Amino acid sequence: MADIIADKNNSLKRRFLDNGDGTFSEYTASGTGTPPAGTASTRVQGTAANGAAPVGDPVQNGFLAATINPAGVANAQMIRSMGDKIGRQVTTLISIRELYAQNTVAILNSTVETTVIAAAGAGVFHDVSEILLTNASAVATLVEFRDATAGTVRIPVWVPANATIPVNPITYITQAVANGNWTAQCSSATSDIRIFIQAVKNI
User: Are the CB atoms for 143 and 153 separated by under 8 Å?
Assistant: no
Q: How far apart are CA 154 and CA 174, in angstroms?
A: 9
**pLDDT score for 32:** 43
Q: Which CATH architecture has domain 97-202?
A: Sandwich (2.60)
Q: How far apart are CA 165 and CA 145, in angstroms?
A: 14
Find the angle CA(145)-CA(149)-CA(155) to the nearest 5 degrees. Answer: 15
pLDDT in tens, the chain (203 residues): 445 444 455 554 556 666 666 666 665 554 444 545 555 555 666 666 666 777 766 667 778 888 888 888 888 888 888 898 888 888 888 888 899 999 999 999 999 999 999 999 999 999 999 999 999 999 999 999 999 999 999 999 999 999 999 999 988 999 999 999 999 999 998 889 999 999 999 99
Q: In the chain, where does the domain assigned CATH 2.60.120.340 lie?
A: 97-202
| CA dihedral for 35, 40, 41, 43, sign (positive or negative) | negative
Amino acid of residue 149: T
| CA dihedral for 146, 151, 154, 155, sign (positive or negative) | positive
DSSP secondary structure, 128-167, as one string: EEEEEEEE-SSS-EEEEEESSTT--EEEEEEE-TTEEEEE
pTM of this structure:
0.67
Q: How far apart are CA 45 and CA 60, in angstroms?
A: 9
**pLDDT score for 201:** 95
Phi-psi region of 10 (alpha: psi -120 to 50; beta: other; left: phi over 0): left
